[in-house]
Amino acid sequence: MTTKILLDTDIGSDIDDALCLAYLLAQPECELLGITTVTGEAEKRAMLSSVLCQAAGRDVPIYPGAEAPLLIPQQQPRCPQAAALNQWAHNTNFPPGQAIEFMAKTIRQQPGEIVLLTIGPLTNIALLFKTHPEIPSLLKALVMMAGVFTNRLAGVGPLEWNAKLDPHATAIVYRTPVAVHRSIGLDVTSQVTMNQNEVRQRFRAGLLRPVYDFAQVWFEQKDSITFHDPLAATTIFDGQICTFERGNVNVELASARLAGLTHWTPAAANGQHEIALQVDKARFLAHYFSMFE
């Protein structure tokens, strides 16, 4: 049986979004119902999503979403990996201003069946939850790459990019009850990395080929990739890649300097959220690359 997924992404900044979308398109147990894009140059991000969908031979609905955060100035105005668009076929026309309604309609049509996977700033999701307050109760699960929940990984945190880019949206989403409200945080995802030489060896064919071309833009500034977003996606299909703990997450808004900080309190009996605490790196990498063999 397949799992129905809606993906909300800021593909085109960090390379991990493309890694995640390639995985979902290759995963035989994934029924990808649609893609919405978020943050600066959302239409170019839709085009990058289209590259991978066309490379996979899939006709997936793609909708550009909100470009600006709810209240604070934009910190991610550009889509750097759009520089690779001229190398690959892609769509250029997308329905404007319909991302939120598309998600709401799709979830209403299949209540209790859809996992909403968010791997970007949470602006679209906050707008969805506020304009359609019945939608959270109709989700099977909400799975997010967001937040930092422990200090066990030196040099990581205290803020995570997706959570801090729109902290008010982040707070709205964490305050909203969902049957399964799961976060895979930076303190866990940062443990799974691959250097540029390894990427060159393993990203040679199939859906990973366009990802490699996108990565050339990333490698102008970085010498490795981190599998933040694909790690979140794989937990939907393999329950042994990460271990989770229940509790409650509160989002810092009082301090402008720390806005978006995710405060974690364990609460096994009545926790509203679950967070990843550990990752089996070898299991993740084996699972991920098995999709492309």
CATH 3.40.50.10310 fits 3-290, yes or no: no
- Are the CB atoms for 104 and 138 separated by under 8 Å? no
Q: How far apart, in whole angstroms, are the C-alpha atoms of residue 46 and residue 97?
A: 13
**What are the tokens at 252?**
């810092």
The 8-class DSSP code of residue 207 comes to: T
- Tell me what pLDDT residue 270 has: 87
Residues 6 or more apart whose Cβ sits within 8 Å of residue 238:
283, 287
Q: For residue range 241-281, what is the model confidence (pLDDT) as tens digits?
A: 999 999 999 999 999 999 999 999 999 788 999 999 999 99
Residue 171, CB-side half-sphere exposure with 13 Å CA sphere: 14
Low-confidence residues in the chain, pLDDT < 50: none
- Tell me what pLDDT residue 153 has: 80
- Tell me what pLDDT residue 223 has: 92
What are the beta bridge partners of residue 262?
Answer: 251
- Tell me what pLDDT residue 157 has: 84
- Tell me what pLDDT residue 287 has: 98
The H helix count followed by the E strand count for the chain is 12, 11
Q: What percent of the chain has pLDDT over 90?
A: 94
